[in-house]
Amino acid sequence: MQYLLLSRHGNTFAPGQKVVWVGAANDLTLVDSGLLQAQSLALALKDASIKPEKVYAAKLKRTSVYAQVIHDQLNLTEDVIIDNRLNEIDYGDWSGLTSDEIKDKFGQNELLDWNQNGKWPKTFIGLESEIEQQVKSFVEENIEKRSDHKIILAVTSNGRLKYFLKLLSDLYKDYVQTSKWKVATGNICLLSYDRGDWRLVFWNEKPESKLSLALIKR
């Protein structure tokens, strides 16, 4: 059994700040609470005696810095690997807007279609099929063809995380329609892989839930 531990980066907005959509074109760094979230994940991994064989992150500061904090706290010897296949989606004209501003400017249907039906909005930059292929390529290279990797950690963003659910086609539709696909900042998801079969262990859990991490049989 192999495991892919996915983490959304930590907070990029401090209390009282305007919270807007930030995608691939918005390179925000972590605020203090975001750094603490990274430390919380590192502590949870320590308590569960888990050391990932590899740590991957998207190139944006909010993901790469988050991964580096975890790397340093765990005293890992191999550097964090920056992988563009983990980069956030480019939200195009939605970038820098609140959800209410998106509704006012573009109407609420596109936002609802994305949040509840998983329909790719026309304002997004790039092709959805490219995102799907990049995720498939990432897991094939780092899990499916690497039996020496018991567990790897990948730090990415909310929009990109949605496409890891597509590895589990039987669950994807339900999670999208009920908006369960969304992952809170600093939360983690765990997928297992065994002889061609991907399974969901948990999705959108707080790192300090040691029971969840204990599900990984070392």
Q: Look at residue 215 and tell me whether its pLDDT is greater than 80.
A: no
Structurally, the chain folds into a number of domains equal to: 1
Q: pLDDT tens across 48-65, in order? A: 989 999 999 999 999 999
Helix axes 169-177, 108-117, angle to 10 degrees: 140
pLDDT class of 217 with cuts at 50, 70, 90: low
Task: Give tens-digit pLDDT for 107-137.
Answer: 899 999 998 888 999 999 999 999 999 999 9
* Residue 105: inside a domain: no
Q: State how far Cα 37 lies from the chain centre.
A: 14
Beta pairing class for 188-194 and 2-8: antiparallel
Res. 203: pLDDT tops 90: yes
Quote the Cα angle for 202-57-196, to 5°: 50
For 139, the 3-state DSSP assignment is helix
Look at residue 110 and tell me if it is in a domain: no
Residue 193 domain-assigned (yes or no): yes
* CATH value at residue 45: 3.40.50.1240
pTM of the model: 0.95
CA gap 218, 214 in Å, rounded: 9
Q: How confident is the model at residue 210 (pLDDT cuts 50, 70, 90)?
A: low
Q: Is 207 domain-assigned?
A: yes
Range of the domain at 197: 2-91+127-213
Residue with tokens 């970038």: 95
Is residue 26 predicted with pLDDT exceeding 90?
Answer: yes
pLDDT confidence of 212, banded at 50, 70, 90?
A: low
pLDDT value, residue 105: 94
Evaluate if residue 211 carries a pLDDT over 60: no
Amino acid residing at 89: I
Residue 21, in any domain of the structure: yes
Tell me the pLDDT of the chain averaged across its residues: 93
* Percent of the chain topping pLDDT 70: 96
Question: 205: closest CA among 3, 73, 8?
Answer: 8
CB atoms within 10 A of CB 179: 11
Residue-level pLDDT at 174: 87
Query: Is 100 among the domain residues?
Result: no
Residue 102 lies in a domain: no
Residue 142 in any domain: the answer is yes
